[in-house]
Every structure is written in C-alpha cells, then in structure tokens.
Structure 1
Amino acid sequence: MDVLNLTSRKRETYQVQLKYSVLWECALGIAAITNKPLIKTLEKPVYYWKEIKESLPVKLLVELDFVENKNTWKALLQLLHQRDFADLREFTKYIQELSMPNFIFICLPFIGNNYQELRRNASLGDQLAMKEMMKITKDNSFFPRYIEFICQANGKRLKEHLINVMTGWYEAVIIKDVELHAILQTDYEMKIEMASKMSAEELVEWTTGGITYSPELNVSNVLLIPQYIYRPWNIEADLEDTKVFYFPITNESISPSDRYTPNNLLVLKHKALGDEVRLRMVKLLEERDLSLQDITEQLNIGKSTIHHHLKILRAAKLVEIIDAKYSLKRNSLDVLSKELEFYLNQ
C-alpha cells in the first residue's frame, strides 16, 4: 500500500560523542592478549604479543589467566564507562569505594532497557534473575558464563583482581609506550575536526572505516573511542541509551609529524573508483541494488571478473551486501569529497 507522508518531523538520529584515554587502551590490551583465537588477526604480529608475555611478572600472568578464563576484561570496560577518570589512581579508588551491589550491577552486561530491573535483581543475589539473564543472552558466545560468574563471584576478590590486572598491565606495558597518549590525542582531535563537517551517521561511518550505523530504538547516543591495540578491528558494545564503538586509529595518527600520510580508506576509495568497470558498477548500483548475476548480465563481463571488481569496491567500503544483493553505500561515497578536503588542508 502506498503511503502519503504529510508529517513535518525529520527522521530521528543520534548524538555522537568522542572520548579518548590510555585507560581504554589498557583494558583493551588486557582483552587482546587473553583472546588467543583473535590474536593472530590483529595488526601487531604474534611475536609482539609473545615478547610482551615473556616480559610480564608472574603475578600479572596469573591475573591474565583469570581474565582469559572468566572474561573479566568486560567488567573493566563496564567500569570505565561510569565516568571520565583522570588517571589510573582515580579509577582504582573508584572501584574500591563502590558498594558491592553497585559494583556487581555495573560489571553485569547491559542487555536492554527492559531488563534493567532483572539486572539489578541479579546483582543483589537473585538466582532466578541470574538464570533469566543467562537465558536471554544464550546466543552470545560468553555472556551466560560471564553473568553466572559475576553473580556468584567473591566481590572483594573480584575487586582486587580487576585492580591488580589493570595496574599490572598499565605499569608493564602502557607506561612504557611514551607516544601512546599523543597518538590517541591526535586521532581524537582529527575526528573532532571532522565532526563539524559531517552528519552523525557520516561521522560514524568515516570514523569506523565503513560501519553503517542507523538510528536504533532507545539509542540516542553513539560514543566513539579511538584504540590502537585492536587494529584493524572495531569493537562494539551496548550501554544504557548508548552504542559504543572502540574504533581503530588511522595511519596518519600514528605518524602525526608526517602530514603527507593519507588515510588508508581514502586511498582505497580512490583506487576503487579509478577504474572504468568499477565506475560503471557504482552507477548501476546508484540506481538500485543488484545481484551478481544482474551486474554480470548488464555489463556483459565474466562473472569472475565482476566478482573481483566487487571485492575491491567492498574493501573500500563503497559497496555492501544486503539480502543477497550488492548495495551502494551512499554515505561513504557522499563524504569522499570531505575526506579529500580534510586531507589536503591538514
């Protein structure tokens, strides 16, 4: 049925916030080194992680084993979101002074506005609430076991563990990286500058290197946090009223003194568009979403060649697959001129 839209209300969107801190990098580093299946996919080579592990004191290695078994890096991230901590000392003091029910509540994952009372009850020791949370999150790879652990853990010991592992990693790894703060600050300032030139959705897509995040019900804020340790991955998380993206910093932030270093995605986009066949594809997809067979028939080119060109367009975050069809990411294309202008005027 056709709909005649007579409303004057614009589609609701979200507000974007940007924050940075070496404390996020500290918690994410703890998460990374204890995630063995993922560690081979990170930008930093395996030997980097091996050398770090060999340099760590035994006491910290014991705490990291506990992180790996219980996924307590999640608790660190949840706690870091409670306020803007000036330094590690303020963060550890905050943990120490939290009442036990509030501490457990914060450590438990946010699973939706409708389940906040359930989360509170679970934090107070309600076994039925705990089991219900585990049931609701059964499709998550680790939430059920994590929820059960948090609800049944010795709160005092858990506080000590979180403080010990955070302090240990900070002193052994973070504090030795003298350039880390400057790198994160450079990327943060770069994104702040672009925020005035882009819509909220454009900024999220550009910052995350291609993630299209449309407004969701009950989400009015998006928090963007630059991180180096998990490159090239984006990490997503949910908080009350907020979607969080810990996004990988760009190449030019790593070498801020070299103002000629372009953003890698900017290079990929221009390379992708610098070909007649791919430009034809972009024009076709501007008109409507198409299957691989549709594009092959319209361009009269071999399917394997078409697939190769589509792979390049997807790597440049200009095209995505939706419902088995290729779709043009218009936001990514629309901001290209802004990205180039930003690079030229840095």
Structure 2
Amino acid sequence: MSYQVEFEFSPIYELVNSLELFVHKRGIKNVDLGVDWVKKVQENLDAASVELGDAKAIPCFNYLYLLIWQSPEKEDINKFLHWLQTLQPGNLYEKLFSYVSDPLPADLEKIRNQYVKLLKVWEEVYFSAFDLDILDILRESVMEWDDKREHEEDPVVFVEKVSGGLKVEPYEGLQQIIMTPTYHTSPLITTRKFKNIVHIQYPVDAPETAADQPSKKLLRLSKALGDDNRLRILKLVKEGPKTFTEILQHFNISKSTVHHHIMLLRTAGLISAYHTSECCSEAFVYRPLGMEELVDSFNAYLEK
C-alpha cells in the first residue's frame, strides 16, 4: 500500500493562504510574518475603507483549495475567478463530492459567491502588490523537488524531507498527497485531509539579502536548541514516537509550555509529526535530518 506525491504551484494558492491567515490568524504567533504583518495589512484596509466581514461568517476554505487543484486556470487570478464564478451548482457538487467525507452544504453557490467576492477584494487591496520574486521562489521550489521525486523510492521519506517534518504513513483509501509551497504561513506545515487525498502546504523561506544576516532556518534551529527542556524532549522522542500526553508526563511544566516547546522543535525541523492512521492521531519523533540541516545552514552562513 502506498500513495502518489504530486507537486502543485499556483499564485492562487498563496492568494488564498494569505487571506486565510489574515482572516483567521490561526497560529499567527508561530508564523514568521507575525502579528506586525496583520497590523500593517489592517492599516492598509482601513485606509482603503475596505472590510472583509466577520471571520465567523466566512466559509471554510477547504472547498476552495480543492477547486484550485481542479481548475484549468491556475496561473492567472482573474481567469481563475472567472472560471470559479461560472461554475454551476451541479458542477461545484461534482468537483467536491468525491473528496469530502462530510455531507456537502446545500448552499454551495452562495459559498462560491463569498469566495469570489473575498478573493477579488483581497487581490485588489493586498495581493496585487505582493512581491513577485517570492512567487518565483515558490515556483522554483516545486520544480526542484519535482525533479528529485523520481529518485526517491519511499514516498513517506520524501514527504517528510520536503515538508521538513511531517510523516504520513499509507492507509487504506489514501491515494495521493499534493505538495504546495507556501510563504505566508512559514515555518508552519499546513495539512488538509480529504477522503482520498491529503493537501500539504510546506514552508519556504525567502532568502536573506544581507551577507551578515543568518537564514531564518539557522535562527530557528539555534533557538530551538537553546533550552534545556527542549533538549530533554529531543532525547525523549529519540527513543521512539511519543504523543503529546506522553511527553507531558515527563515534565513538571504546564501544557501550554510543553506545546510551545514542541512547536519550536517542529518548526525548526528537529522533530517530525508522525501520522500513523487515517484519523491522523499525532505522535512526535526525533528527526536526525534536522541536525544535518543545522550544520549545512551554519556552514552556508559562514561561507556567505
């Protein structure tokens, strides 16, 4: 039993990813762009007298990611929006039914119209001015990893390497993993699990321009190793996969503190999140490749 790995690039993924981050602010404290980015964008929205509406009233973006994946218009935002807007309710249902486990809502056309309205506003007030060089970096990442895919025999190892720490074991029904690079939510790994596919957005950093500026990767690794409790967690999970509860039992500190330590170790690529079943129950295990990346990042910095 195995699955196929497919790489996808489209500026529309990043358009939606940035919008979702701004609207829901999920994990914003662990994202490199951080709260300051939210404040700056909000100031621009206020200056333009634009409101995106209540975040609670905005529909789930999962359907939108599935529609992007199936769209024939992935390179041009306006063409994609036109394609999306012209889909009939029956077409929407057909494109989602095979991949969504829960019953589809009856108001798919209304949800589609909300998507189109939000994306048009977001593209106008934010994404139209987004750095095109970063989109080129994301595109190059897909090309680079796609070239390496043919030389990798084990898809589990390959996905873990690309994502920087997400291991997805094959399970019954899983046919395909779609890998999409993303900048806005870096260094987080975002996973969307559907009926027979998993969509993973793996983080990509923009390179530092100043020669004396360490890479974000090197800074994350250095910070992650600079705490005795995080080192103890590494030692613990080197023994084998441990759940959050199992890790918590070994420390006389709060749940939130342990969660913070695990998050820093994960985003640095020093531990892998290990999904072992269809329900994606999560365990954590030491990631030796992270230490190799530390040495490579450190040497690259010294030689830059």
Q: Same fold (TM over 0.5)?
A: yes
What is residue 294 of structure 1 aligned with on the other side? none
Tell me, what secondary structure is at the counterpart of 2:179? strand
CA contact (8 A) 2:59 2:111 kept: no
Preserved contact between residue 228 and residue 248 of structure 1 (Cα < 8 Å): yes
Distance across 2 between alignment mates of 1:37 and 1:43: 13
Contact 1:220 1:242 in 2 (8 A): yes
**SS of the residue 1:247 aligns to:** strand
When the two chains are superposed, the root-mean-square deviation of aligned CA atoms in Å is 4.7
Q: Distance in 2 between matches of 1:201 and 1:175?
A: 36
CA-to-aligned-CA distance 1:134-191 (integer Å, 9 cap, x gap)? 6xxxxxxxxxxxx55xx246x2x54433222212212222221232322312332343
Indicate which of 172, 180, 189 corresponds to 1:234. 189
Which residue is equivalent to 2:67? 79
Counterpart for residue 42 of structure 1? 31
1:15-94 alignment to 2 at 5 Å?
A: 15-36=4-25, 38-56=27-45, 57-58=48-49, 60-61=50-51, 64-65=52-53, 68-84=56-72, 85-94=74-83
Matches within 5 A, 1:253-268: 253-255=206-208, 264=217, 268=221
Alignment of 1:1-346 (within 5 A): 12-36=1-25, 38-56=27-45, 57-58=48-49, 60-61=50-51, 64-65=52-53, 68-84=56-72, 85-106=74-95, 110-112=99-101, 133=102, 148=105, 151-152=106-107, 155=109, 157-178=110-131, 179-196=133-150, 198=152, 199-250=154-205, 253-255=206-208, 264=217, 268=221, 314-315=265-266, 317-319=269-271, 328-329=285-286, 332-333=287-288
* Residues 26-35 or 167-176, more deviating: 167-176
Query: Displacement of 1:109 after TM fit?
Result: 9.1
Q: 1:285 to 1:95 in 2, by over 3 A?
A: closer
Rounded to whole Å, the distance in 1 between the matches of 2:163 and 2:265 is: 15
Name which one, 1 or 2, has greater alpha-carbon Rg: 1
Question: Structure 1 pair 243/158, CA: closer, same or farther in 2 (3 Å)?
Answer: closer
Q: Which has the higher contact order (CA 8 A, sep 6+)?
A: 2
> In the alignment, which residue of structure 2 is the partner of 1:143?
none
**CA contact 2:269–2:290 (8 Å) conserved in 1:** no
Residue type at the aligned position of 1:231: S
- The answer to whether the 8 A contact 2:218-2:297 is kept is no
Identity of aligned residues (%): 17
Gaps of 5+ in 2: 244-249, 253-257, 277-282
TM-score by length of 1: 0.61
User: TM-score, structure 2 length as denominator?
Assistant: 0.68
Count of residue pairs brought into register by the alignment:
277
Unaligned stretches of 5+ in structure 1? 1-11, 113-132, 135-146, 292-301
* CA 1:340–1:221: 2 relative to 1, 3 Å: farther
With over 3 angstroms needed to count, the CA separation of the structure-2 counterparts of 1:287 and 1:47, relative to structure 1, is closer
